[in-house]
Amino acid sequence: MNLFFFLMSILYGIVKFLHINFTTFVLNGYPVGLWVAYLIVAVVEVLLVFALSMVTVIIIIYVFRKYMADAQNRIGPNRVGPWGTLQLIADVFKLIQKQDIIPTTADRTAYKVAPYIVFTPVVLGFILIPFGNVSILNLMVVNFNYTILFLVAFMTVAPVGEIIGGLASHNKFSLYGALRSAAQDMGFEVPMLISLISVIVLAGSYNANEIVTAQKYIPFIIPEILGFLVFFLAMIGRQSIPPFDLPESGSELVSGFSTEYSGMRYGIFYMGNFGFMALSAFVVAVVYLGGWEGPIFPGTVWLIIKGAVFIFIFLLTWISLGRVRIDQLLQLGWKYLLPLSILNLLISAGIAIYFGGVF
Amino acid sequence: MIIFYILSIAAIASAALAASTKNLLHSTLWLTFLVIDVAGIFFYLEDFFISAVQVLVYAGAIITLILTSVMLSRRYQDEE
C-alpha cells in the first residue's frame, strides 16, 4: 500500500506541479512564499479530489450491492453500520488483513505493478473533470487546453494494467483474460475516439470546460445521437461490465486476468473498476449532456445528477443482461460501431459547417 | 529545469533498461515508463497536445499491441 500512495503522489505531482514553474516565479521577482502558497493549495486540491474519487467509489459499490440484491430478491448488506453502509469499509479492512499470495511461477515485478497501472490513471482522470461552479468558486483542479484529450488518454491506459496483470500471473485463464482484454481494448478504442472527435469538431475546442459551455442551449446528444450511442456502448465495453465482461467473465474464466490476485491487490483492481465506471459516467455527462450546465441548481449538482443517471444505467445493464461471445463483441466493435462513428463524424462536420454558430 | 533533468535522466535510464532487459514483459514495462516520461517532458515544455497524444497513442495503443505480440511470442511461452 505504501508503494501505491508513493506512486499516486508522484504522478499527481507531475501533472499538477509542472504547471507552477519555480524558476519563472523567481525570475519574475515574485516572492518564494507565493510559490509555497500555490504549492500548498495544489496539494490540498489534489488530496480533495483523491478523497472525492474514493468517496464516489465507496458510494457506487454500496448502491451497486443494494441494487443487485434488490434485483435478485435478496436483502444485500445490512449488518455493518446503519443499513449496511459501512460494509465496504469492513471489506477493505478484511482485504488488508488477508495474506498477500503471489504464485511461485508468476512474474513478481509485473504482478505487483499491474494493479497500480489500472488504478492510477482512473484517479488522475478525476482531476481533469470540470466540476462546475458553486456561485463564484470555479471547481476545476487543472484548466488548460486539451483536458478532454488527456481524460480519454488516461482512460486508454487503464486496460494496459489488466493485460500486464493477466500476463504476469502465468495462468491459462489469466492469459485468456489478458488476450480478451487486449482484443476488446483495441476494438472499442477506435470508435470511442472517433465519436469524441466529432464532439470536438462541433465544440471547436479540446478544453472540457469549453465543450460544456458550448452546450449551453442544445446538449450534444441532440445533434449527435449516433455518436452518443457509439460512445456509450464503447464506454460500457471499455469498463468490461456485463454484457461485455469477457476479460473477467466469472463463470467461464474464473474472473480472468485477476484470477491469481488476492487481498488488497484484488481490492485495488476492484476499486479501479468502479472508479472507471464513475469516471466514464462523468465523461459521458460532460461530453454529451452538457456537464454542469443547467437551470436553478448550482453546476456541480447538475453534473452529479447527470453522472448518477449514467451510473444507474451502467448498473442496470450489469445486473440485467447476459454475456455476449467474444466474436460477437469484436463484430460489434469493428463492423458496426466503427462505420457508425465515421458516419457520425461526417454528419457533425456538416453541422459544424452549416450551423456552426448555434454551438 | 530540475524537473526537466529528472525526467530526461529517467527517460534515458528506462530506455536503456528496456533495450537491455532479457525478460520481454519487463522490457515492455520499462518501455511504458519511457513513454510516460516522454509525455511528461512534453507536458513540461507546455506542448499539451503532443503530450496527450503521446499518452493516448503510445501508452494506450502501441503498448497494447506490443503486449499482444509478447503474449504470442515463443520466447515468452518458453519461459513458462
Q: N- to C-terminal Cα distance for chain B?
A: 45
Place of cell 448502491: A63
Q: CB neighbours of A37 closer than 8 A, spacing ≥ 6? A: none
- Per the model's pLDDT, the better-predicted residue between A293 and A191 turns out to be A191
Work out the widest C-alpha separation in chain B, in whole angstroms. Answer: 45
Does a cis peptide bond (omega within 30 degrees of 0) precede residue A243?
yes
A230 with A340: CB under 8 angstroms?
Answer: yes
A31 assigned to some structural domain: no
A159 assigned to some structural domain: yes
User: For residue A322, what is the DSSP state?
Assistant: P
Report the alpha-carbon distance of residue B12 to residue B28 in Å, rounded.
15
Instruction: State the ipTM, two decimals.
Output: 0.84
- Looking at the DSSP bridge assignments, the partners of residue A137 are A134
The phi, psi pair for A358, rounded to 5°, reads -65, -40
Q: pLDDT-based confidence at A1, cuts 50/70/90?
A: very low
Domain locations in chain B as residue ranges:
2-79
Helix (H, G, I), strand (E, B) or coil at A219: coil
Q: Is A26 an 8 Å CB contact of chain B?
A: no
Preferred mutation among B8, B25, B73 to probe A, highest tally of A CBs within 10 A? B25
Q: What is the pLDDT of residues A109-121, one digit of tens each?
A: 888 888 888 888 8
Measure CB to CB from residue B52 to each of A117, A146, A167 and give the nearest one.
Answer: A146
Report the alpha-carbon distance of residue A73 to residue B17 in Å, rounded.
54
Q: Long-range contact list for A5-14, CB < 8 A, 24+ apart?
A: A7/A116, A7/A120, A8/A50, A8/A120, A8/A123, A11/A120, A11/A124, A12/A46, A12/A50, A12/A124, A12/A127, A14/B40, A14/B43
Helix (H, G, I), strand (E, B) or coil at A320: helix
Q: Which of A36-50, A76-90, A274-288, A320-334 has the lowest mean pLDDT?
A: A36-50
Report the alpha-carbon distance of residue A118 to residue A201 in Å, rounded.
30
Q: At what angle do helices A263-288 and A147-168 cross, to 10 degrees?
A: 150
- Per the model's pLDDT, the better-predicted residue between A34 and A315 turns out to be A315
Radius of gyration of chain A (CA): 21
The CA distance from A150 to the nearest CA of chain B, in Å, is: 5
Q: Which of A26-35, A85-94, A318-327, B12-21 has the lowest mean pLDDT?
A: A26-35
* pTM score over 0.90: no
Residues spanned by the domain of A98: 55-358
Structurally, at CATH architecture level, domain B2-79 sits in Up-down Bundle (1.20)
For CA atoms A126, A127, A128, A132, the dihedral sign is positive
Report residue B52 as a C-alpha cell: 496527450
The phi, psi pair for A134, rounded to 5°, reads -105, 110
* Domains of chain A: total: 1
Name chain A contacts of B55, Cβ cutoff 8 Å. 150, 153-154, 156-157
A105:B80 CB<8 A: yes
Radius of gyration of chain B (CA): 14
Instruction: Count other C-beta atoms under 10 Å from residue B74's C-beta.
Output: 7
B56:A156 CB<8 A: yes
Q: What is the pLDDT of residues A147-204, one digit of tens each?
A: 888 888 888 888 888 888 888 888 888 888 888 888 888 888 889 889 988 888 888 8
Which chain A residue shows the shortest CA-CA distance from B7? A14
Measure CB to CB from residue B67 to each of A15, A107, A182 and give the nearest one.
Answer: A182
Q: Is A104 an 8 Å CB contact of chain B?
A: no
Find the chain B residues whose C-beta atoms sit closer than 8 A to any C-beta of A. Answer: 1-3, 23, 25-26, 28-29, 32, 40, 43-44, 48-49, 51-53, 55-56, 59-61, 63-65, 67-68, 70-71, 76, 80
Does residue A25 surpass a pLDDT of 60?
A: no
Report the alpha-carbon distance of residue A81 to residue A239 in Å, rounded.
30
Measure CB to CB from residue A146 to each of B32, B44, B48 and give the nearest one.
Answer: B48
Q: What is the DSSP string of A113-157?
A: HHHHHHHHHHHHHHTTS---EETTEE--S---TTHHHHHHHHHHH
User: What pLDDT does residue A343 have?
Assistant: 92
For CA atoms A250, A254, A256, A259, the dihedral sign is positive
Of A232, A237, A248, whose CA–CA distance to A187 is shortest? Answer: A237
A217 assigned to some structural domain: yes
Q: What is the pLDDT of residues A232-254, one digit of tens each?
A: 988 888 887 888 887 777 677 77
Place of cell 442544445: A218
A153:B59 CB<8 A: yes
Amino acid code (one letter) for A267: G
Q: What is the pLDDT of residues A118-150, one digit of tens each?
A: 888 887 888 788 877 655 555 566 667 788 888
Measure CB to CB from residue A163 to each of B44, B49, B64 and give the nearest one.
Answer: B64
The CA distance from B47 to the nearest CA of chain A, in Å, is: 10
Which chain B residue shows the shortest CA-CA distance from A151? B52
Q: CB neighbours of A42 closer than 8 A, spacing ≥ 6? A: A16, A17, A19, A20
